[in-house]
């Protein structure tokens, strides 16, 4: 019998962490894509949001398949910090109209 704590940590990491990461990547793409391509801003928002659901799904599956809990939590934290950091940074450096 496994303890309940690792299961709870994994649920929070996969479901909560997965959401934060996919929302962060979507925000980064929505802000960043119009800067590096000719994609209009509204189109970047829609594209990033639609793809974020698939990213979230992939993270969910990985979250329950990855055996090393430390690696799961570590990678999710790093990606969450990096995506939200760069999204917020870009939005501050190049303020939207």
Partner 1 sequence: MEPTFRASLNWLHTWAGVVLGGLLFAIFWMGTLSVFDREIDRWMAPMTRLPVAEPAFSYEKLRSAYDAAAAAKSPSWFATLPTEREPFVRTSWRERQDFIVRLLDPATGEALPDPGTWAGTRFLFPFHYMLHVKLWQLGYWIVGVAAMAMMALCVSGVVVHRKIFVDFFTFRAEKQSRRLLLDLHNVTGVLGLPFYFVISLSGLIIFFAVYFPGTAQLAYDGGQRAFTRDAYGQYERPKAGQPGTLGSLDAMVAEARALWGGAPVRYLFVRNPGDAAAYVQIGRLGEDRVAGNGDVAFFDAGTGALLHQRSGYKPVMGVQQFISGLHLMQFRHWVLRWVYFGLGMAGCVLIATGYLFWLESRRKKHAQLGLRGVRIVEGLTLGSVTGILAATLAFFAVNRLLPLESSFLGQDRAALEIWTFCLVWLASFAHAWLRPRRAWIEQCWTLAALATAAVLLNWLTTGDHLARSLSQGHLWSIAGIDLLLLAGAAMAALSARRLQRRAVALPDSRQLAVRASQAAAE
The interface with partner 1 within residues 10-29 (CB under 8 A) comprises 10, 15, 22-24, 26-27, 29
Measured from the CB of residue 27, what is the shortest distance to partner 1 in angstroms?
5
In angstroms, rounded to a whole number, what is the distance separating the alpha carbons of residues 26 and 33? Answer: 10
- Residue pair 18/63 in contact by the 8 Å Cβ criterion: yes
Output the smallest distance, CB 75 to partner 1, in A: 15
* CA dist., res. 12 & res. 81, Å (int): 16
Which residues would be at the binding site for partner 1 (CB under 8 A)?
10, 15, 22-24, 26-27, 29-31, 34, 39-50, 52-54, 56-57, 60-61, 64-67, 69, 87-88, 91, 95-97
């Amino acid at each position: 019998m496994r303890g309940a704590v690792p299961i709870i940590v994994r649920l929070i990491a996969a479901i909560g962490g997965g959401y934060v990461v996919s929302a962060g990547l979507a925000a980064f793409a929505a802000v960043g894509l119009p800067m590096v391509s000719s994609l209009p801003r509204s189109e970047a928002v829609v594209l990033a949001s639609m793809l974020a659901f698939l990213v979230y799904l992939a993270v969910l599956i990985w979250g329950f398949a990855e055996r090393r809990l430390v690696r799961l939590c570590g990678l999710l934290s790093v990606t969450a910090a990096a995506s939200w950091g760069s999204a917020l940074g870009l939005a501050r450096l190049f303020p939207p109209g």
